[in-house]
Chain A
Amino acid sequence: KQEVTQIPAALSVPEGENLVLNCSFTDSAIYNLQWFRQDPGKGLTSLLLIQSSQREQTSGRLNASLDKSSGRSTLYIAASQPGDSATYLCAVALLMEYGNKLVFGAGTILRVKS
């Protein structure tokens, strides 16, 4: 059974710091991996999607890497800002007979202090 773990569970940093969020998964047979942002009382916003054949994806100040063989992904946030404060969720996609299933980690709650 695929399990996804995110470390740390919570993180508080001063504005301007570079930071890394970690995600690990137990079964390397994934189709892709996504990082989501969740603001309080809101749904999930997809930040980056890495296909299983890729090693990393970048969007602005965000960079996500994937190492399938070791079952790890990291989300790197450069020059953090108070607006980055949110919960960050990692999810791996598993193929089903129809469609794909996302297995989520519990998330990392990030607070960036001004």
Chain B
Amino acid sequence: NAGVTQTPKFRILKIGQSMTLQCTQDMNHNYMYWYRQDPGMGLKLIYYSVGAGITDKGEVPNGYNVSRSTTEDFPLRLELAAPSQTSVYFCASSYSQPVAQHFGDGTRLSIL
């Protein structure tokens, strides 16, 4: 059982570069989420999706974009990387709401 898979696990970016964090789940879950976790803090919701073609903003969406073209995939796009986006990014999914969310292992992103 793969569950929620995030790639890459680690990445270093220069200021102004762009990149896409990949997230895929094999549990046929409708709901998918992106969170960021800063050191010593809880997770904060960036974007979420309730199904293919439907996305909405969370608490901290500025500087990010998402798309959901399939049930399995929910990529997160950083267009112009800034040092404030240095964080650990977690993708999660759930079958419906509100039930337990399943998390990936995270992507550790540093922007220098």
- Cα–Cα, bound, A36→B42 (Å): 11
When C-beta atoms are compared, the residue in chain A nearest to B58 turns out to be A101
Within 8 A of A (CB), among B42-77: 42-45, 48, 50, 54, 56, 58-59
List of B residues within 8 angstroms of A89 by Cβ:
42-43
Size class of the A contact interface (CB-based, 8 Å): 20 to 34
B56's contact among A31, A93, A98, A102, by CB below 8 Å, is which?
A98
B70 to chain A, nearest CB (A): 18
Q: C-beta contact mask, A66-96 vs B, less than 8 Å → 1, else 0?
A: 0000000000000000000000010101011
- Cα–Cα, bound, A79→B95 (Å): 34
Confirm or deny: A106 has a beta carbon within 8 angstroms of a beta carbon on chain B: yes
Contact A32 B50 (CB under 8 A): no
Please count how many residues in chain B sit with their CB below 8 Å of the partner chain's CB atoms. 28
- Cα–Cα, bound, A45→B44 (Å): 17
When C-beta atoms are compared, the residue in chain A nearest to B39 turns out to be A106
List of A residues within 8 angstroms of B48 by Cβ:
96, 98-99, 101
Within 8 A of B (CB), among A1-34: 4, 31-32, 34
Residues of B that sit less than 8 Å from A by CB: 4, 31, 33, 35, 40-45, 48, 50, 54, 56, 58-59, 90, 92, 97-106
